[in-house]
Structure 1
């Protein structure tokens, strides 16, 4: 039961169902856009991508466990250990390893940027929609508002590049 609970949590997180990212992004659609069709496509593609990623993850974990002669539970780790310890080890054993490593970390980078853009846009649009006179009445106010939010997010992220980052991520 715990596995299915974790899977459902992953689906809700990747859809940004709790942060409002889908709603914030859909606010840029045309008024007569078929929102139902778009939401079904996004949900189905998201679920299919998660299932495919699960196959890839457990294939790699199974391969490494077989190579080391241990069980999968001993190879699998929570948190950043999976992406930054286990996968690079598997990528190093593939043919043309540097190419696959570049592709893998480019994928990680684009996933991170995509998540971050969605969350920041949700925050920006929430306040801009609620208080348009304060934040978006002129181009200058909009620029200053967006710049201040991005600088604030940057300053909040600075501790994540220090030695305490793993503790903050765990919290």
Structure 2
């Protein structure tokens, strides 16, 4: 249960390229004009991937679910990326929440807008539903008050990820 002084946390989730960051940047000034104290929590995925300038490890065939069995180096790397990403996302949201509460000083309603949420992590890493990584992302999701889910047109998704087909995207 949140107290009146606790910031309201809103995360915007969806596939890459649908304008999550743009939506957050447009909402923040409008909410500030209405008297809210707004903090933005930008998240750009796994810090390990950003340092190496490489995408997070994913399935070889995007049409097939990831293999969860085995103790290969690739499986370990995938889990490590997921845990680092979950920890970073949680830390960013907590820091933004503290800044919003401090800046509001109890006089104004405060909220945190994030351009990436725990649901994005669940989709990106596809952890086993009963696994520790899934629980970490779900714990972070429990600390969010609202999740806005954005959809993308098939053209946007095809431009970003050409491994899919238009027919396959329109069916889902």
Is the pair's TM-score, using the shorter chain for normalization, greater than 0.5? no
Greater relative contact order (Cα < 8 A, sep 6+): 2
Q: Quick check: which has more Rg, 1 or 2?
A: 1
More helix by share: 1
More strand by share: 2
